[in-house]
Amino acid sequence: MTASPASDTRGEYPGLLGCSALIAGLIAIVSGVVLAFFRFWWGVSISVASVVAIGLILSYASRVERDRWRRRFDRLASIAPPEGEAWRDLCEGTGLGDFVPVIEDRVRQAVRVESHRAESEAIGIGQSRIGGLHDLPRGFEWPQYKGRSLRFLAQFDLAEVHKVHPEETLPAEGWLWFFYEPGGTMDGSDPADAGSARTYFAAEAPLERRALPDDLVSGYAYQFCRVSFAQYDDPPDIDFDTALTESLTDEQYDAYCDIRSYLSGESTGAEHKLLGNPQPVQGPMESECEQVANGMSCAASRGTEEPGSLEPASGATQWRLLLQLECGDEAGMFWGDLGRVYFWIRASDLRERRFERIWAIAQCT
């Protein structure tokens, strides 16, 4: 078997090292505090030294972990760039050749959306962006949910997207705008969350740059990011597919996860995407979308392999990922603890350009 990136074991200890250092350091700090009651300066010195030592060890462990990931992604980059049908070559080059026919029917084309934080918003009207101000049709009424303005997430010029994704899945021209509930507390698991996320499409319209509503100016505006696009074939997530995960060795599973991360853009710090396969945090979402769309709450069963009470929901296979947005420092987006927001749409609605009929789900660890 060809060695996979995951077989490089030189960096497997940083997590254990960091945890051990944290535990030992906390014990030393507590001991120092107790000792300070009897020998003040000794106790203070031990506590301060422990804090410094923890910081140094955690910094070292983080650096080792980053180096380990860099080596693994460099290995994949030497096989194929993260675009087009690279997943086949990557699987072949990491000992997963036999896995290709198993998953190829589930591979979907995706458009990687790489964000680049910028200080200036001096770009043309209508150009793609994440966060910041936005360009909207004249007379556009800002969407609200329960009396509060929704936060502006992203604006995509579909003509830009079409240059890298010429298929008819998305319109060749026009714009898509995405909005989400400002507090980020509606996770899409209940029908009552309807309206907490909105998507708008305009094929042709004169646009104008709009200021934020007054209730979004303070603390609820995301940082402006320029974006770039690249198309790639997106293999499926298998974390919640027991049959597939159990068919792989630990090394093969790690190699497959590395391939998905490499293709999605984790090596560059951005994993936003249009279309493709989702990268779920708490579990599959297609059944949840269908059940909630039919008036059923899935709040109690979120995080299970088959959300809700149906087996799985009839019509679940019709749901397609439209947009996946990551947590990230670039735009200052944070969805709970290392979470993601997913905008879903039925395949029929996507074909008919009924983008207003999306359903958004937020998941976090």
Work out the average pLDDT over 163-185. 90
pLDDT at 11: 38
Q: Which of the two residues, 229 and 124, has the higher pLDDT score?
A: 229
pLDDT at 358: 96
Domain boundary at 77, 95, 117, which? Answer: 77
Confidence of residue 30 (pLDDT cuts 50, 70, 90): low
Residues 110 and 238 in one domain: yes
Residues 191 and 276 in one domain: yes
pLDDT at 221: 75
Residues 20 and 115 in one domain: no
Q: CA 137, CA 347: separation in Å to the nearest integer? A: 26
Q: Which of 5, 136, 133, 16 is nearest to 71 (CA)?
A: 5
Q: Which of the two residues, 61 and 235, has the higher pLDDT score?
A: 235
Confidence of residue 87 (pLDDT cuts 50, 70, 90): very high
Q: CA 267, CA 302: separation in Å to the nearest integer? A: 29
Among 19-28, 176-185, 276-285, top mean pLDDT goes to: 276-285
Residues 31 and 155 in one domain: no
Domain boundary at 77, 110, 138, which? Answer: 77
Confidence of residue 8 (pLDDT cuts 50, 70, 90): very low
Give the β-pairing of 207-210 and 340-346.
Answer: unpaired
Residues 290 and 358 in one domain: yes
Confidence of residue 307 (pLDDT cuts 50, 70, 90): very low
How many other C-beta atoms lie within 10 A of the C-beta of residue 163? 12
**CATH code, domain carrying 320:** 2.30.320.10
50-79 confidence digits (pLDDT tens): 777 767 776 666 666 666 667 787 888 899
Domain boundary at 33, 60, 77, which? Answer: 77
Q: Which of the two residues, 13 and 125, has the higher pLDDT score?
A: 125
Residues 62 and 151 in one domain: no
Residues 65 and 126 in one domain: no
From 146-150, 214-218, 259-263, 345-349, the region with the lowest mean pLDDT: 214-218
From 147-161, 267-281, 339-353, the region with the lowest mean pLDDT: 267-281
Work out the average pLDDT over 217-235. 86
Residues 198 and 155 in one domain: yes
The angle that helices 86-93 and 250-264 make with each other, rounded to 10 degrees, is 150
Work out the average pLDDT over 19-44. 64
308-321 confidence digits (pLDDT tens): 444 556 788 999 99
pTM over 0.95: no
From 187-191, 199-203, 352-356, the region with the lowest mean pLDDT: 187-191
| Residue ranges making up the domain that contains 323 | 86-363
Q: CA 161, CA 177: separation in Å to the nearest integer? A: 14
Residues 190 and 251 in one domain: yes
Residues 157 and 179 in one domain: yes
Residues 303 and 282 in one domain: yes
Q: Which two tokens stand for residue 100?
A: 């290709």
Residues 148 and 10 in one domain: no
* Total domains, the chain: 2
Confidence of residue 186 (pLDDT cuts 50, 70, 90): confident
Q: CA 26, CA 18: separation in Å to the nearest integer? A: 12
Q: Which two tokens stand for residue 91?
A: 């699987």
